[in-house]
Amino acid sequence: MNMKLAERVLIGLMGCLLVQTSAQAGSYSPAGQSNEKSPDSTVKQSPQELQQLVAPIALYPDALVAQVLAASTYPTEIIEADRWIQSHTGLKGEDLAAEVDKQSWDPSVKALTQFPSVLENMDKNLSWTSSLGDAYANQQQDLMDAVQTMRQQAQKAGHLNTNEQEKVTAQGNTIVIEPADPDVVYVPAYDPWLVYGYPIDAYPGWYPARNFLWRPGTLLRSWVWNRFLRGFRLGLASLGLGLARP
């Protein structure tokens, strides 16, 4: 009886030791570090990396840049919206806006349904979109600085000037891009790796969406655009994208 009791005690101790060892192993990564992330563990991107991130959108009108940045924090909804648009190609203008308004997506994602090529670009380049959203959430001011840096470079290269579609003005050190006609929004499409006067390395795995060439752009009547803004313009000034209009 004493021998059996001793065996049971030994087995029990070994079981406890295995449980303790497994728990300790689970709390460490293969490098021997804890898997738990501290609040300050977010890896910040360099100015050059941020410039690479914003290169495809830096020359958009301010309001559209703001919508893209906000929408980039909802990558799952970007996928859903792009797939939805692809299956509802017959909807245009007011009919499209009415159906989109029934969806549960963030207003910024809904607004982008009026720009299918922009939405498609974000869906096809989901890694880029997610990185843009992370930077917007964690390095907002650095990201805005990157937008201004790229605009300055494009302007120096002669690729960012006032024309029939858009108005480009300087407010201090801030370059503002607005529609030339308040009732119509044009979206410039351009090669984001060549338009800034010097070659920029394409974002890893970048997939160019169709129709992304340097051209005047697509238009959108303001009444459709305004349907989804819902006060979003009020945040433009704080984003460093220019002065918001009421």
Tens digit of pLDDT at every position of the chain (246 positions) = 444 444 444 444 444 433 444 444 444 334 444 344 444 557 899 999 999 999 999 999 998 999 999 999 999 999 999 999 999 989 887 888 889 999 999 999 998 998 888 999 999 999 999 999 999 999 999 999 999 999 999 999 999 999 888 899 999 889 999 988 877 778 887 888 889 998 888 899 888 765 443 334 444 444 444 544 443 343 343 344 543 333
Query: Would you kindly state where each structural domain of the chain is located, as residue ranges?
Result: 47-235
* Cα Dmax for the chain: 98
Ramachandran region, residue 174 (left: φ > 0; alpha: ψ -120 to 50; beta: rest) = beta
Q: What are phi and psi of 71, to 5 degrees?
A: -65, -30
The amino acid present at 78, given as its one-letter code, is: I
Distance CA 195, CA 201 (A): 12
Q: Sign of torsion, CA 62 216 171 198?
A: positive
